[in-house]
Every structure is written in C-alpha cells, then in structure tokens.
Amino acid sequence: MSDDTKKAVPYTVPIGPTHPALKEPVMFTFQMEGERILKADFAPGQAHRAIEWMGMRRNPVQIVHLTDRICGICGVSHTLSFARAVEQVMEIEVPERADYIRAIIAEFERIQSHILWAGVAAHELGYDTLLHLSWRVREFAMDVLELLTGNRVNYGIIQVGGVRRDITPDQHETIHNCLDYYSDLKAKLLQVFLEDKTIQMRCRDCGVLTHEEALKLCTVGPTARASGVKMDVRVDYPYAAYGDLEISPVLPDAYLGETRGDVYDRIVVRLLEVDQSVDLIRQCLDLIPAGDITWEAKIPKILSAFKKAHGEAIGRHEAPRGEVFHYVRMDGKEHPTTWKVKASSYSNLMSWIPMLEGEQIADIPIVVASIDPCLSCTDRVAIVRDGRRGIMTKEELTRLSVEKTRRLMR
C-alpha cells in the first residue's frame, strides 16, 4: 500500500437519503477501510409527517384511518394497537367475534408482509427471479385481504370498539383455498430460499447480531427471535383472539438446530412465520364465535363516549416487524391529549450498527434489508477518496452485491 492511499483510510461513504424503495428515507454514513465497514452511523427522520401532532387534533374515529397510513405495509398493526389503547381508556369490551376478525386480518397481513420481504431480500442479493416469484405468490394474500376488507393496502377495517366488516360464511371457502395454497407452498419456499447455495453463501454468518446485543438494543420481532430471544407479544401478553390460540414464538433453532443470529436465520424465522400465520388463521376460523362485530355501530354515540373518557393506556401488537406500541391519554375531550407511537422498526434500527460493522460494502443492501426496516435507502453513495468524490447509485450498489454473488458462485 502506497503512502498516499494510507492517508485516505478510513474514508467516508454517505448513503441516502432519497429514493427509498420502501418507507422511510434514511441517511447512512460509513467509515470504510477498503471494502470493510469500520463504523456505521445513520440519521432517520427524513419522512416526518407529524402524524401524532395531527392525531391530537382529530378524534379517534378519524385517527384509525390515519394510523392505517403510518405505514402502508403494517396497515392493520398500528390501528389495532391504537384501538386497543383507546378501548382500554374507555373501558370498552370488544365483542369476541371482532377480536377474531382482527386476528385473522393481522395474520393475513403478516403473510403478505413476510413474503414481500422475502422478495425484497432476494432482490438485494441480485436474485430477481425470486423477487418476481415471491411477489406473484403474495398476490393471493392480497386478493383475500381485498375480499375481506375491500382494500388491498390500508384496509380501514378496524374501528374503536370492533371492526367495520364481518366475515361472511361464503368467504370461508376462498380463505381456506388461499391457506391451502400457502401450506402447499411452504416446502417450496423453504427449498428455494434455504437450500439455495448462493443464498447460503451470502447470508450465513453475515450481519450477525448476538443474543446479548439483541437484548441490549431492545430489538423486537423476527430480528430478536432470529438471535434467539424468545419473545412475541402475541404469546407474552395475549390480546385480541391470541389468548385462545395455540402459538409459540418461532426460533431458528427449531428448524436448524442452532441459532447464529445472522441474515440466514432471519430468513428462516420469517418463512416459518408465514406457516405459523396460516395455522393461526385456520384456528381462528374454527373457533370464531357468532355475534356482534362492534361494541357500538353508531358513530355519534362513539364520539360522545370519547368525551366521557378519562385516563391513559397502552396498546401493543406483534406487527410483522415486531412489537408496535401506542400510548394514548384522554382527558374528556373528543381528541386524545397525548398520543405516542413506537413503531417496530424504531426498536430495530439500532441493531444495524453491530450488524454492519466488519462487513463488506457489498453486504450493505442485504444486511440493511434483513431487519425488514420499511426502507431500502441505499440510493446514492458518495465515495470520498483522496478528496475525489464519486457518486454511487443504488443500481451500482446492487451491482456490487450481484457481482459478489457471482464471484462466490465461481
């Protein structure tokens, strides 16, 4: 190594913040030495829309439609935890049938979200065939969601005190067909993702998050479970219909016999959770009781009940990406006086730093995607080396990633 290159090491690589293929634009800064990442840092908050501020000026009947739009992929998760918080403040008993419908929709959302993620992960590895295949099989879950709620995205099905649409008996057949389809698909999905040599080479021991780090950084959801942390809000604090269902957290060692906390383990956990969701929906359909679907159908009555509500409560839900958490305080007004949202990705973002440090630049896309962050912001990279500045686009980063795959296959 000549002297003047030595001086330039470590150099800085900023990535972002525009063109996220997914949710939040984020700004990354990497300290690099050659191809290796020495230090990673990031700055979220580029897509701040002031949702909590707006919510404190609207009433909860309106807010449920705003919570749908906190994140388009977790359309029902935020609404469910918000509604649960408000219901606890108002001391409403949600009808049991509504609880089951909520669980069914939430599990369908998990199916489509995990398959969506699997496709994105494949894309980041340069395996676009698998992206297209995954998104094609995902459309069946979208069809059923549309059948049940009327919308493909942002379902608008949950209302404070219940749900807005019932599941009719003639819909059961379509739901069962869809579930059978995903059960049959399980072996195929596991095969194409887990037995593929390329995926093994790129994901095994890449982006490792140890058990202690996962606990220390308070990660949630599949990211935590892939590191061997046995936690799942559906099991630890059952709500909606989950208390009646047979469910236990999915851990990678159940399938692989060991837990390494790498990208591969995260793929395993998510794919197995698709199957778990299918099983949960089947249980729900068997157990779902007859009855009302909402505590009060008339909106003016719900609104006047808000004016009598005093107190504070939290609502939690295991979203596809982990625990979401809503805190609501009502002081006898139509709108909440305080509303705080903690989304699941927020808890997981910090885990990027231990995962990325020590990895190669070509691993950035897959490691960043591996926590399913609702963002894929590896858009533009500026490499400053010896004072020269070169801009790398997301395409070039993906190309680097694809090239690494090719190299490994040779």
Partner 1 sequence: MNITKSFNRSLWAFHFNSGSCNGCEIEIVATLTPRYDPERFGIKLVGSPKHADLLLVTGPVVKKMRPRLLRVYEQIPDPKVVMCVGACGISGGPFYDSYNLDGPIDDVIPVDVYVPGCPPRPEGIIFGVVRALQKLERLQGELP
Can you give the binding site for ligand SF4, defined by CB under 6 A?
69, 72, 154
Least distance (Å) between residue 32 CB and partner 1 = 21
For residue 225, which of 94, 318, 125 has the smallest C-alpha distance?
A: 318
70 versus 203: smaller Cβ distance to ligand SF4: 70
Least distance (Å) between residue 71 CB and ligand SF4 = 9
CA 353 vs CA 33, 240, 364, 410: distances in Å: 16, 35, 11, 31
For residue 388, which of 1, 2, 5, 3 has the smallest C-alpha distance?
A: 5
Binding span for partner 1 by CB under 8 A among 50-58, 167-175, 252-260, 352-360: 50-58
- By CB under 8 A, name the one of 49, 204, 301, 307 that touches partner 1: 49
Q: Let me know how long the chain is.
A: 410
Q: Does 46 bind partner 1 (CB under 8 A)?
A: yes
What is the total count of residues that contact partner 1 (CB under 8 A)?
Answer: 44
50 versus 290: smaller Cβ distance to partner 1: 50
For residue 367, which of 125, 132, 137 has the smallest C-alpha distance?
A: 125
Burial 283-320 (b: 16+ CB within 10 A, else e): bbbeebeeeebbbbeeeeebeebbeebeeebebbbbbb
- By CB under 8 A, name the one of 8, 11, 12, 21 that touches partner 1: 21
Binding span for partner 1 by CB under 8 A among 92-100, 126-134, 211-219, 315-323: 126-134
d(CA 354, CA 376): 18
173 phi and psi, to 5 degrees?
Answer: -60, -45
Q: Does 72 bind partner 1 (CB under 8 A)?
A: yes
d(CA 80, CA 83): 5
Q: Residue of minimal CB distance from ligand SF4?
A: 69
Q: Under DSSP, is residue 206 helix (H, G, I), strand (E, B) or coil?
A: coil
17 versus 261: smaller Cβ distance to partner 1: 17
Binding span for partner 1 by CB under 8 A among 2-10, 71-79, 266-274, 276-284: 71-79
Q: Does 23 bind partner 1 (CB under 8 A)?
A: yes
Least distance (Å) between residue 85 CB and ligand SF4 = 22
179 versus 319: smaller Cβ distance to ligand SF4: 319
Least distance (Å) between residue 83 CB and partner 1 = 17
Binding span for partner 1 by CB under 8 A among 17-25, 199-207, 226-234, 330-338: 17-25
Residues forming beta bridges with residue 37, ordered by sequence position:
32
Instruction: Please give the distance of CA 345 from its chain centroid, rounded to a whole number.
Output: 7
d(CA 267, CA 247): 20
Is the Cβ–Cβ distance between 146 and 134 less than 8 Å?
no
Which residue carries 């979220």 as its tokens?
A: 44
Least distance (Å) between residue 143 CB and ligand SF4 = 19
- By CB under 8 A, name the one of 15, 98, 116, 400 that touches partner 1: 116
- By CB under 8 A, name the one of 10, 11, 56, 69 that touches partner 1: 69
Whether residue 17 has a cis bond before it, omega within 30° of 0:
yes
Q: Does 76 bind partner 1 (CB under 8 A)?
A: no
| Residues 150-169, interacting with partner 1 (CB under 8 A) | 152-154
Q: Does 293 bind partner 1 (CB under 8 A)?
A: no
Q: Does 398 bind partner 1 (CB under 8 A)?
A: yes
Q: Is 178 exposed, middle or buried (0-12, 13-18, 19+ CB in 10 A)?
A: buried
- By CB under 8 A, name the one of 15, 17, 260, 321 that touches partner 1: 17
Q: Does 381 bind partner 1 (CB under 8 A)?
A: no
For residue 198, which of 252, 258, 125 has the smallest C-alpha distance?
A: 125
- Residues forming the site for partner 1 (CB under 8 A): 17-23, 25, 46-51, 53-54, 57, 65-66, 69-73, 75, 116, 119, 131-133, 135-136, 139, 142, 152-154, 374, 379, 393-396, 398
